[in-house]
Amino acid sequence: MKKIIVFMGLVFTLTSVTAQKGGITPEILSQIEQSYVPTASDKAIYNAMAGTSISVLAKNHENLINFDTHFSNKVVSHGITDQKQSGRCWLFTGLNVLRAQMMAKYGLDEMEFSENYCFFYDQLEKANLFLQGIIDTREKPMDDKMVEWLFQHPISDGGQFTGISDIIEKYGLVPASVMPETYSSENTSQIAQLIGWKLKEFGLKLREEFGKGAKEAELEQQKVEMLGTVYRMLALAFGEPVKQFSWTIKGVTKEYTPQSFYKEFLGNDLTGNYVMLMNDPSREFYKCYEIDYDRHVYDGRNWTYINLPIEEIKSMAIQSIKDSTMMYFSCDVGKYLDSKRGTLDLNNYDYESLMGTTFNMDKKQRIQTFASGSSHAMTLMAVDLDKDGNPKKWMVENSWGTDAGYQGHLIMTDEWFDEYMFRLVVERKYVPQNILNMLQQKPIRLPAWDPMFAPEQ
């Protein structure tokens, strides 16, 4: 008995030593503490940071004198939209690109499409995407990576350009006055949470029924019934989508369906006429990539793009702007943003002087370490070129209302564009043939959980 006690004590000692390996021991803590010798400046900085935002203290006031709102090439902007407390920037951006085309074509002073109409069907389609995904993975265990991802992401209000193309080409468009915003469409968190809960419950039910022997056809019929519940929840939150409406343009009133309205006034080939580009230096350039499950419609397309060096993307963007054509654009908007002035500039904040250290990761390293990624979509509509044709700064039309930024816009330096711009969608006519040829490649498929490709909010 005594020998057993000694042995158990030895095991406990060895376990304790192993548990401490790699941890902060008292000796290591002492070394860390001794490495910091507070100065008078540190004391002043601590006092300031104790009651003030770091961004306020780090603001580079010397940079304020560089604020310039002149642009050599600019597409006319017709009013700022406001996504309010929702993650629908992708939808506002895509619709703003289309409304600019319609306003120019018909000489309209004002126009806005119903984001609420498109969003209703976006949410219904995403619910179907989740439930069908659960059926497709029914034979996999609950801890399978794909099954886990589905249950973690049953639905969201974020998205990207394929949501624009697939939803509009399937369901059409209506003017904002025909299906206006509601509280829940402008404040999406609560309804999204409720629908997410219901979808997870339905997902478990489908897997349970499969375990009891239900065939695929039976599961899909149950899915249709489940989508009926989701449809009712959406109708209560956003209103039921209009099927037919009257609209007047240039003094002429006609009856339209959402599909006939879109076909008459726009009729764009949103699937074939637009090319999606990415600047991701962490992956090989001049390759075509596809993101699994990065789509809004189950029978639609995964987000597919060509990865290119930044200078080639800029060249196409400049051509588009010179031709008075706005573009879907997305970036890491939170980095170095001066929201009051509406500028995105690497010199807006001097974090290094404040914190007494450097932040030296490049764009590739920030992507690899999840420090940066595309987070917000806006409408690229202006560039300021120097006498040699090189861009100095860019401007986007945002969807945060007229009081946000510079009269509802954001202005970014070309250096900021290099570091934090990620995605651009351009019309095919601005894309060189050698790049269009890359679309013939079989896309390299990346997994749905790749963090670089989170939906834009």
- What residues does each domain of the chain span? 91-265, 271-453
Residue 44 in tokens: 């002043």
- Positions in the chain short of pLDDT 50: 1-19
CB atoms within 10 A of CB 201: 12
Compute the distance between CA of residue 71 and CA of residue 396 in angstroms, rounded to an integer.
12
Q: Quick check: is 78 catalytic?
A: no
DSSP for residue 384: E
CA angle (54, 59, 60) in 5-degree steps: 150
What is the per-residue pLDDT for 68?
A: 87
Any idea which fold 271-453 has?
Cathepsin B; Chain A (3.90.70)
- pLDDT at position 115 is 97
Q: Do the domains 91-265 and 271-453 sit in the same CATH topology, yes or no? A: yes
Cβ–Cβ < 8 Å for 453, 291: yes
Q: Express each pLDDT in 250-305 by its tens digit.
A: 899 999 999 999 999 998 889 899 999 999 999 999 999 999 988 999 999 898 99
The confidence score (pLDDT) of residue 14 equals 45
pLDDT score of 20: 61
Reduced to 3 states, what is the DSSP secondary structure of residue 82? strand
Q: DSSP string covering 305-342, please?
A: EEE--HHHHHHHHHHHHHTT--EEEEE-TTTTEETTTT
Instruction: Please check whether residue 295 is in contact with residue 159, taking contact to mean a CB–CB distance below 8 angstroms.
Output: no
Pairwise CA distance, residues 22 & 28, whole Å = 10
Catalytic pick from 89, 96, 153, 348?
Answer: 89
- Per the CB < 8 A criterion, the answer to whether 331 and 421 are in contact is yes
CATH number for the region 91-265 comes to 3.90.70.10
| Per-residue pLDDT at 12 | 44
Give SS3 for 259: helix
CA distance 59 to 193: 37
Query: What number of other Cβ atoms are within 10 A of residue 17's Cβ?
Result: 9
Backbone phi, psi, residue 331, to 5°: -160, 180
Residue 77, pLDDT score: 81
Query: Which pair of structure tokens corresponds to residue 452?
Result: 């670089």
pLDDT value for 4: 43
The reply to whether 89 belongs to the active site is yes
Structure-block tokens of residue 205: 């039910």
What span, in angstroms and rounded, lies between the C-alpha atoms of 377 and 331? 7
Answer yes or no: 118 catalytic: no
Q: What is the pLDDT of residue 21?
A: 84
Residues pairing with 427 in the sheet: 274
Helix (H, G, I), strand (E, B) or coil at 61: helix
Catalytic residue among 63, 96, 348, 376: 376
Contact present, 89 and 119 (Cβ < 8 Å): no
Q: Which among 188, 190, 182, 189 is positioned nearest to 116, based on CA atoms? A: 182
